[in-house]
Amino acid sequence: MDTMVVTAAAPMREVGSLWDGLNPNLIASIYEVDHHGDPVSDVAPILRCPFVDDANLEMTFNWQSPFENSGAGSLTPSLSAMLQSGMVQPIIENVRGVLSSDERKKFDESTPGGGWADQTAAAAEHARGRTGITKLNSTQVFTGMAPIKLDVTLMLRAWRDPQAEVEDALNLLMDWAMPRYLAPEGTLLTAAMEWAGSDNKTAKSLVEAALPSTAPALLAVKYKQRTFAPLVIESIGVPLNSPSDSAGRFVQLQLPVTFATLTAWDGAGWEGAQPPNGFNVNHGGLYGNVQGLPR
């Protein structure tokens, strides 16, 4: 079976339309990077296009209260709720009313200071409006965070040439988003058998046999002097009913795209993305803490 590889547009510095009338800060630059966030090549194509509608950077931080169930309410939640709301007092009164006069007298005599039932009712009334929540058992702890998501809508528009300005840009974006290569077949068992029967038994060949396919590209997005890298593309929407010319080539596309950072970020990652320097691994960057670089 022949190997089928999806190819991108021809290498060039810029792909997309001309946007001379817009402020350069409103034009996003998207290009391929390695896992450190550095450009893979000086001649690799750069997709330049504006963001329309909303461009939202979403960060989710996971904070939890691990001690919230350590109070009295976790042991007897129903009784605790009845005490705090005052619902237990009518039950005590009803139970005391069911007892005979001799039984009530016996309970009262066995508990000096107003009687057992009266003291119980008073204690239940005192519990009304109180709660077991404290600063200790409500303290939150940081349990992690998900990678940062960047939801944008890319605008591709043809002013002169639909093929060069829209179609090639779309193909380049899809080439980045899709796996570079998917092996037609293979399992771990077949990979082990092929490697065992091979004359080239090296660690590299073992990795290639066990993992025969190639993952999608890592990208950087530079927008308003902020550079976010490395990113992956999680989703792309292609509206096929968009305007096209007589040859069926798109003349305008609005593509909803969801980018996500390769890993969760720390403060050094965010600081490294800010202007005026943008992403810079020597300034800490995404892997600053791992590499021991200053923040």
pLDDT at 60 over 50: yes
pLDDT value at residue 280: 46
pLDDT value at residue 165: 92
Whole-number percent of the chain with pLDDT over 70: 60
pLDDT value at residue 1: 38
- CA Rg, the chain, in Å? 33
Number of H helices, E strands in the chain: 11, 8
Higher pLDDT, 286 or 20: 20
pLDDT value at residue 148: 93
> Which band of pLDDT confidence, cut at 50, 70 and 90, is reported for residue 230?
very high
pLDDT at 134 over 70: yes
pLDDT per residue as tens digits for the range 143-194:
888 999 999 999 999 989 999 999 999 999 999 999 988 887 766 566 666 6
Contacts of residue 11, defined as CB under 8 A and 6 or more positions apart, other chains included, come to: 41, 43, 44, 45
Contacts of residue 295, defined as CB under 8 A and 6 or more positions apart, other chains included, come to: 267, 268, 271, 284, 288, 289
Residue 152 and residue 68: Cα distance in Å, rounded?
A: 38
pLDDT per residue as tens digits for the range 83-105:
666 565 565 555 555 555 555 55
pLDDT value at residue 137: 80
pLDDT value at residue 177: 94
Which of 36-45, 155-164, 283-292 is modeled with the greatest confidence?
155-164
Residue 253 and residue 250: Cα distance in Å, rounded?
A: 7
